[in-house]
Amino acid sequence: MNTLNQSVLPIRTETDVVIVRQKVRAVSVELKFSLVDQTKIVTAASELARNVLNYGGGGTVAIEVLIRESKNGLRLTFEDQGPGIPDIELALQDGYTTGGGLGMGLGGARRLVNEFEITSRVGEGTRVVITRWK
């Protein structure tokens, strides 16, 4: 598997969340993702960027274009140095929230992508890696 261009964007403000959405949409269009796949990856990116901002105190997203055999993919790596998630399985359940939202963010993002990986350490932060293949 080859990784083509990679960019890292900050997530520190609401404006940054919008910029992440725009960049992910632009890259998914370049990769000729279907409109449905574009919507799925952009929605997942928006949810995760908002989590980084609201729960992680800000962080970054790395955007990578992947080539595996003849397939193109888009991998997004969200990282923060926030309080971490004490119970990942609980946090992935629909309806669970620590913030007053609908509790669909992590579980919803997981359902919208082909690959989903989360690691978190209490007091150190959280890392979520998602990939959508064309």
Q: What would the pLDDT profile of 95-131 be if each residue is shown by its tens digit?
A: 766 665 544 679 989 999 999 999 999 999 999 999 9
- Hey, which residues does 61 pair with through a beta bridge? 9, 78
Query: How many structural domains comprise the chain?
Result: 1
The Cα–Cα gap between 134 and 130 comes to 14
- Hey, which residues does 131 pair with through a beta bridge? 75, 115
35-54 and 14-30 helices, crossing angle to 10°: 150
Terminal Cα distance for the chain, rounded: 14
Position 114 scores a pLDDT of 97
The Cα–Cα gap between 39 and 46 comes to 10
* Containing structural domain, residue 59: 2-133
Give the CATH number, domain containing residue 9: 3.30.565.10
